[in-house]
Amino acid sequence: MLQRNPLAPVTDYQSMLNRIFWFTTAAALAATWLLRRHIPELNSLLAEIDFTIEFGGDKIVPIPGGFLFPALAVGILTRIYRLHARISDWLGIRECFDVDCVIAELADQLQIDLTPISKEELIESRHAIMRTAFYPYVSGRDPELDPQLIQQALDAWSWFWIGIEATLVFILTGLALIAGGVYAPGFQTIAATLLLSAIGLPTMRNQCRRYAIAQVRAILADPNRKATARAAFANLTGDHLPFRRAA
């Protein structure tokens, strides 16, 4: 069931998707307002469905349908197709994070020397290592780690993916304004979006990295899980990887 409160605690993957949906819809609502303000033809078209929709009577300000319906359509489509996951696949966001943060931290804690292994080999073996040494302990209905640590990680990822989807929404909005001949607002929208993204997204990614490192260390605190993780790396080359030499 879809949660109505976008700020409700993120407890699992579905609640994370719900939060992303609400904030992407809000971004699309702002984008619709911007487009209608600067493109008269679009404003006239959407004005035909501008009957007022009320939520909760007088408790919430009514929103015209010409603003709400396009925003909801964007939110629903991004929810159905999990746009953040598609963007991650296109740009290799999660792939790089898994290799550079999770797998690198696993190897470091296990004192495994990954120097002989190329980045391409790590990427190719990424899914096998993650499925063996990481995902079983941080996902599912009954994860082995502290639920609070898992929820904190999901919460951090939710804000990162919200930033990713909002960035795409406003970049496309800026391009639509430029295509409509509204050059100054279009370029300003794109510039402001890129600036905020350049500041905010790395900050949020660092937060995700901090929780991923905490999860890795919690996983390896158990000797049996540590042995399983070591075996996952051994499968990388079909032989045991060397221990990293002490400095």
Average pLDDT, the chain: 87
In a domain, 23, yes or no: yes
Per-residue pLDDT at 24 exceeds 80 = yes
Question: Measuring CA to CA, which residue among 62, 66, 29, 65 is closest to residue 46?
Answer: 66
In a domain, 242, yes or no: no
Average confidence (pLDDT) over 22-44: 94
* The pLDDT of residue 241: 52
Instruction: Say how many CA atoms lie within 13 Å of 215 toward its Cβ.
Output: 29
In a domain, 239, yes or no: no
Tell how far CA 88 is from the center of its chain.
8
Whether pTM > 0.85 for this model: the answer is: yes
Rounding to the nearest 10 degrees, give the CA dihedral for residues 43, 46, 47, 49: -170
Per-residue pLDDT at 182 exceeds 90 = yes
**Angle separating helix axes 65-81 and 13-38, nearest 10 degrees:** 140
22/25 Cα distance (integer angstroms):
5
- 102-122 tens-digit pLDDT: 999 999 999 888 888 888 888
* The pLDDT of residue 247: 41
Number of structural domains the chain divides into: 1
* The pLDDT of residue 199: 96
Host domain of residue 47:
13-234
Residues 6+ apart with CB under 8 A from 173: 31, 34, 35, 189
| Cα 88-90-94 angle, rounded to 5 deg | 30
Question: Measuring CA to CA, which residue among 49, 21, 45, 24 is closest to residue 35?
Answer: 45
- 200-216 tens-digit pLDDT: 999 999 999 999 999 99
In a domain, 246, yes or no: no
In a domain, 92, yes or no: yes
26/133 Cα distance (integer angstroms):
37
In a domain, 244, yes or no: no
In a domain, 8, yes or no: no
